[in-house]
A and B are shown apart, each in its own frame.
Chain A
Amino acid sequence: MLEQRAFEAEFLRKLDGLVLSATRARTRRAGRRVIGRAQGAGIEPENYREYAAGDDLRFLDWNALARLDDLTIRTFRADRHVEVSVLLDASASMGIPERDDKFGLARLLGAGLAYVAMSKNDPVRLAAFGRRASAAGLETTRFYRRQESYVELRPFVTGLAAGGETRMAAAVGTLLNERRAPGMVFVISDFLVAAADYETALADLSAAHHEVKVVHVMGTKEMAGDYPPGAYRIRDCESGATREVTLGPAAAAACRARATAHANRVRAFCASRGITYAEAFGAEAADEIILREFPRLGGLI
């Protein structure tokens, strides 16, 4: 399976040297990657300045007040790290068609993005959503900061199984309920769900000042709709709904058109919200996707 490659040395060598650039999240909170000048929540002292009305009295230097009878505020360097969360869609549709290995590709890309983010010691975690993930709809790892910890993601990445319904908005809701500082969120999914669900999810993430990046995963056979001509009963892997159809060249062409239209719709929504969109169509082109789409997602050399 493709996700096993995520922990091969050859794959990781390709990712070495890539740096994940963050724009929105860092500037809104604590400046750019350079050291911030705003009153930060860090612990490293930066400077002293005169007290002004409205300053937090917790930062008042009481020693200076006692000795000099002067109100002085201590300032600290802001925490410059950006939390990176990689949300993997682990619903049943990610495992269908099995030959496309969409879920393997999604896990490979998710792990690769985590590896790149770790190169600058940014805290990174993986999260998966799907009905079976957990009662809350979201299963997450803890945050890892150093690339030496990358291998600790392996049990999570290889242990995931696709199943259940896509409930992206619910999973994002669970994520936002953690009330963490805005950071960077990668959403890796096939988005084969009602448009309202993924649009709500992505809009909520943006509204919470997260820098959102979308990786749209689709399978080659899935998009081609190429089945031997004949009458079939098709069953939706998530809802279990069935339909009876006649498949053949005309149906395959219609399927391709629907898949393209679906991708365009996701892309257009992302563009309208300022969300970075990258497509990952076909597991067989994984290397090409990494080279082509990672820079688009912020992976800079």
Chain B
Amino acid sequence: MRNIIGISALYHDSACCILKDGKLYAAAQEERFTRIKHDPSIPYNAFMYCLQQADLNITDIDMIAFYENPDKKRQRQLLNLEGGSGNILPITLYNSEDIRKILRDDLGYEGPVTFIDHHLSHAASAFYFSGFGQSAILTVDGVGEWATTTYAYGDENGITPLQEIIFPHSLGLLYSTITHYLGFEVNEGEYKVMGLAPYGNPTFLKQIKQVIINEPDWGFHLNMDYFDFRQKDRMFTDALVDLLQLPPRSRKDHLHQGHKDLAKSLQLVLEEILLDKINYLSTKTQSENLCLAGGVALNCVANGLIAREGPFKNVFIQPAANDSGGAIGAAAEAYFAHHGKKPSSEQLKDVYLGGEYSNQTIKMVLDSTKLIYQDFTSDRLKMLQSVAERLAGGAVIGWFQGRMEFGPRALGSRSILADPRDPGMRDKVNALIKKREGFRPFAPVVLEENVFEHFDIRHLSPFMLETCNVISPLNLPSITHVDNSARVQTTSDSSNPMLAILLKEFDEITGCPILLNTSFNIKNEPIVCTPYDAIKCFIMTKLDYLVIGDFVVNRDDNSIELLEFLIEQSYEVADAIDYNIYTFL
């Protein structure tokens, strides 16, 4: 059992990874290739990419590990539908034989398939890549088969479940319900609710605590008077509207203070419950280490609190904590089941697991266009110095370098970079480039050696998964949120040498070793994958420069009106999910 493919699919954010002799060679989300945001389809393109990256072919694959158990999930789906009537959510039911057939038909795969429970996949995605010999493990999301939250303990004997909370009682579903209530997109707008919370006051704490009731030890439950997860177009009942005395916001409505207060209240209750559960988990496991995964583990504010105030000395959060990371966990668990040992004893150092493009390929694409560009292939340092100067001068840069990141975050391979000191930069990037809501904060990327000087954090943060306070002597308005927090990413020569040099050069010019870093995409599109995607995104936005491989395209050097028009004419937003509801059924 040398080569194992991990797959998460048929829900949202489908992904594929490959473990070759236990080493994670490659992982990618299908949406990056198909350009369909949250693409749930069987990840054929990601699968082919993984094979190619690992220098393997389909005949070399010993097993596919699928990230959930369809038979168990189907039981829950059928039971949940019982008794429902009227505006019921349409669903597609799969059993394990269906999944085997789909994998045979869509990937051409002829070998064995193993099914790993959804939350075990999440747990494995964190523990087996944490580098910890033993650890407490917490997974929290909307729902898997039945479980919505699991507590476990991992050591050399694998992962031992301790307890689970099952559907419909779910922190993830609570968060998604309020996300929808606030007029944001479910499975997408949770970040926005988190970003909105610091603008509010916790005036809805009492009501939220009537909706979710914390219990001693492991437990909590939702008061189901306020929820209806079977409906086609909303997840809450009229009772919730009555309770909150705040009308549900539609997407077009302006945000007012009540919405911000509700977001704040929700966030605080989430943090309180998570912290409580983590304390209990610590008591039960007596471990110094904690692994976190599941969609709720992308809540950076809660993660920051857990790291700062929780009982654990060391915390590892799977960077692809959402369902795409389930692919990695499923493969790792299948590896453990067969070999009786963890695939890796080291902590995951980076998530640069996607495809990359040579200068030869990039140049060929650029030469096909009318774009005028500068070629720095003979002097990369000069390019980085020049880019740093332009950033210091207020330019916003599209940065396309090396292997693409796996997971939801852009961590310096497919990023938009800008000067964090510029007070107008946040509005500029939000409005002109990302074309998104103005209140949303941007994250900083900082050199490892400088992080503690500028941010109140006790450890490195290579995956941008937690917030901390900004303590910098510098004024950093465009990456500092209204509550003085920032979602910091650390980087180094070893993890991302190009970005590290750029930060050093920027520091040299400005005395600031920090850049604003956000994902290289525009609203409603997946992060760019290929040089073609990068050029299209550069043209469609108001980015000042595109730094792609060792080439730099300056917007001012180019007349791009016709190209912009042509791309706009061909522009189609493709999205795979319904944003009104958590399509967990």
A and B: real partners?
Answer: no
A positions within 8 Å CB-CB of B: none
